[in-house]
């Protein structure tokens, strides 16, 4: 593992990508939000893998009182071709 900032994720940019999704077109399902976030992140990263967890606080579930409800999706982007040496 290299301790090189150039090899890491730009979290400010990632935040803006996610923010665009969650403030954009409304969705009824947490699954939809998670899939949209995953697709947007993969489009920006052009490959790789993304794991998205979305939770809703105090969801309106009939007959139950729960603190949170959530989903998790893992998606892989299209692999980039190998760069010749």
| E strand or H helix at 17 | helix 11-22
- 1-52: pLDDT as tens digits: 688 888 788 899 999 999 999 999 999 999 999 999 999 999 987 768 999 9
Instruction: Name the residues annotated as catalytic.
Output: 56
- Band (84; pLDDT cuts 50, 70, 90): low
Contact 37, 21 (CB under 8 A): yes
- Is residue 81 in some structural domain? no
Q: In this predicted structure, what is the pLDDT of residue 82? A: 47
- Is residue 85 in some structural domain? no
Number of domains in the chain: 1
Q: What is the CATH number of the domain that holds 69?
A: 3.30.1130.10
Global pTM?
0.81
For residue 50, give its domain range.
5-76
């Amino acid at each position: 593992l290299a301790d090189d900032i150039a090899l890491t994720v730009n979290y400010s940019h990632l935040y803006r990508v996610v923010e665009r999704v969650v403030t954009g077109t409304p969705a009824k399902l947490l699954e939809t939000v998670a899939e949209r976030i995953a697709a947007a992140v993969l489009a920006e990263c052009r490959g790789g893998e993304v794991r998205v967890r979305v939770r809703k606080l105090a969801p309106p579930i009939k007959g139950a009182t729960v603190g949170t409800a959530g989903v998790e999706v893992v998606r892989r982007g299209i692999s980039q071709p190998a760069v010749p040496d």
